[in-house]
Amino acid sequence: MTTYTLIYNPQAGRKGGTAVAQHIGSRIQAAGSTAILVPTKAPGDATALAYHAQSDVVVAIGGDGTINQVAAGLIKRRQPPHLGIIPQGTVNNLARVLRIPLMPDLALLNLLEGTPSPLDIGIVNDHVMISTLTLGVLANAAVSVSQEDKQRFGPLVYLTRGLRSLSGKQHWPLKLTSAQQTWQQETSFLLVTMTNSVGGFRNFLPQAKPDDGLLHVFVAPRPTLGRVLLMIPYFLTGNFAKLPGMTYFATDRLTVESPTAKLSSRIDGDPSVDLPLKLQVITGKVQVVTKPADPVGHLGVASQRQA
Ligand SMILES: Nc1ncnc2c1ncn2[C@@H]1O[C@H](COP(=O)(O)OP(=O)(O)OP(=O)(O)O)[C@@H](O)[C@H]1O
């Protein structure tokens, strides 16, 4: 009999986490398994809850911020329980990447019938990253996006705020060092993604996989009007790496420094981490329960898959 700890964030998304956790808990019990419900009481406490959870599967009920913190608790354990996800966030970027249904009952089926598969976990200094790191104008744009903005306008709000920030034409000197090479240039932003999707746009980088062991790194050139205008079409069509002046590479480790500026990054849209940054990937340690070959698909994603 599989045991589940349901760590739910009552504040995520449209604040339906409590009702969803109770519903999922009773469905799991009805199926003959055990479910322990644990609410988060403050930002960040899902990490300790996941670290101490005693069950076969620790389920994050929330968005990317909640999953990030649950993953941070699991990665510290010698033999972590499996990670489960019931999406209850606003954007739910990682759930979309993993094709986990957004509707709770379908997500539960996915959890009960799925199998564990490896999920890369990025480590940035002493923080965990499951989706995206931004620095420069994109990080500044993310700061200006409130929970209400995300709910009202959806992921598009990141694009419009990003464009607005880019039109300010700010740029900073950045030095990046991977195992192979060193880059030093003026940049308007750095974007690092662990997966094919950024901000819920799953066509962002089709070749990136959540278990490829790689950080996918974009270093944007200094903004010009022409580049800014091209940015959204290149972003939406999976061609961001081909934007004139863009540097793209994939690596399993990276250091990020700025010789002159004091800069902060944002990870999975949440905390700020100051430079210098040291990034690496832990692959194979955390296993997430998914059903990748689900022939039914899930609402909100099935139509894109057929397209
Ligand atoms: N009990 C709580 N009270 C207040 N904030 C909380 C609580 N528990 C968690 N949080 C914070 O809520 C924030 C948002 O959570 P989360 O990212 O899961 O939802 P979201 O922002 O709606 O989803 P997404 O990131 O997918 O758009 C996180 O920063 C988390 O630390």
Q: For 252-292, how does the pLDDT look when each residue is reduced to its tens digit (9 = 90+)?
A: 999 999 988 788 899 997 768 999 999 999 999 999 999 96
27-41, 118-132, 140-154, 166-180, range with the lowest pLDDT: 140-154
Distance between CA atoms of 148 and 277, rounded to whole angstroms?
30
The predicted structure's pLDDT at residue 297: 45
Q: Which residue has the tokens 């993310």?
A: 142
> Would you say 200 and 92 are in contact if contact means Cβ atoms under 8 Å apart?
yes
Q: Is 212 found in the same domain as 271?
A: yes
Render pLDDT for 138-195 as a digit per residue (tens, 0 to 9): 888 777 788 788 778 877 787 788 777 777 778 899 999 999 889 998 999 999 999 9
Whether 219 has a pLDDT exceeding 70, the answer reads: yes
The predicted structure's pLDDT at residue 73: 98
In a domain, 44, yes or no: yes
The predicted structure's pLDDT at residue 292: 63
Whether 306 has a pLDDT exceeding 80, the answer reads: no
Q: Is 93 found in the same domain as 175?
A: no
The predicted structure's pLDDT at residue 57: 98
In a domain, 104, yes or no: yes
Q: What domain range includes position 27?
A: 3-114+291-306
What is the secondary structure of 31-50 as a DSSP string?
A: TT-EEEEEE--STTTHHHHH
Q: Which protein residue has the closest C-alpha to ligand 1 atom 30?
A: 43
Q: Is 229 found in the same domain as 98?
A: no
The predicted structure's pLDDT at residue 299: 46
Ligand 1: centre distance to CA 93 (Å): 13
Q: Which protein residue has the closest C-alpha to ligand 1 atom 3?
A: 42
Over residues 84-94, mean pLDDT: 96
Over residues 12-16, mean pLDDT: 91
Q: Is 227 found in the same domain as 80?
A: no
In a domain, 274, yes or no: yes
Pocket test for ligand 1, best of 7, 9, 69 (most atoms within 8 A of CB): 9
Q: What's 175's domain CATH number?
A: 2.60.200.40
Ligand 1: centre distance to CA 222 (Å): 33
Q: Is 140 found in the same domain as 22?
A: no
Q: Is 278 found in the same domain as 211?
A: yes
Question: 276 preceded by cis ω (within 30°)?
Answer: yes
> What is the percent of the chain with per-residue pLDDT over 90, rounded to a whole number?
71
Q: Is 267 found in the same domain as 136?
A: yes
Ligand 1: centre distance to CA 165 (Å): 24
Whether 295 has a pLDDT exceeding 70, the answer reads: no
Render pLDDT for 53-64 as a digit per residue (tens, 0 to 9): 999 999 999 999
Over residues 103-127, mean pLDDT: 97
In a domain, 187, yes or no: yes
Q: What's 302's domain CATH number?
A: 3.40.50.10330
In a domain, 175, yes or no: yes
Model's pTM, two decimal places? 0.91
> Would you say 274 and 263 are in contact if contact means Cβ atoms under 8 Å apart?
yes
Measured in residues, the chain has a length of 307
Atom of ligand 1 nearest to the CA of 44: 31
Atom of ligand 1 nearest to the CA of 270: 29
- Number of CB atoms found within 10 A of residue 169's CB: 13
Ligand 1: centre distance to CA 221 (Å): 32
Atom of ligand 1 nearest to the CA of 269: 25
The predicted structure's pLDDT at residue 145: 82
Instruction: List CB contacts of 149: < 8 A, sequence separation 6 or more.
Output: 157
Q: Is 132 found in the same domain as 258?
A: yes
The predicted structure's pLDDT at residue 293: 56
Atom of ligand 1 nearest to the CA of 41: 1
In a domain, 77, yes or no: yes
SS3 at position 258: coil
Which has the closest alpha carbon to 87: 118, 115, 56, 111?
111
Q: Is 136 found in the same domain as 13?
A: no
Over residues 70-91, mean pLDDT: 97
In a domain, 119, yes or no: no
Atom of ligand 1 nearest to the CA of 271: 29
Q: Is 295 found in the same domain as 224?
A: no
Over residues 108-135, mean pLDDT: 96
Query: Which tokens in the block code for residue 151?
Result: 């709910």
Q: Which residue has the tokens 């420094």?
A: 257
Q: Is 180 found in the same domain as 77?
A: no
SS3 at position 92: coil
Whether 294 has a pLDDT exceeding 60, the answer reads: no
How many distinct structural domains can be found in the chain? 2
Q: Is 278 found in the same domain as 297?
A: no
Beta bridge partners of 109: none
Ligand 1: centre distance to CA 225 (Å): 35
Pocket test for ligand 1, best of 45, 66, 92, 129 (most atoms within 8 A of CB): 66
Pocket test for ligand 1, best of 6, 11, 268 (most atoms within 8 A of CB): 11
Phi, psi angles (nearest 5°) of residue 208: -80, 135
Q: Which residues line ligand 1 (CB under 6 A)?
A: 9-13, 40-44, 62-66, 89-92, 150, 269-270
> Would you say 140 and 151 are in contact if contact means Cβ atoms under 8 Å apart?
no
Q: What is the mean pLDDT of the chain?
A: 90
Ligand 1: centre distance to CA 105 (Å): 21
Atom of ligand 1 nearest to the CA of 62: 18
In a domain, 15, yes or no: yes
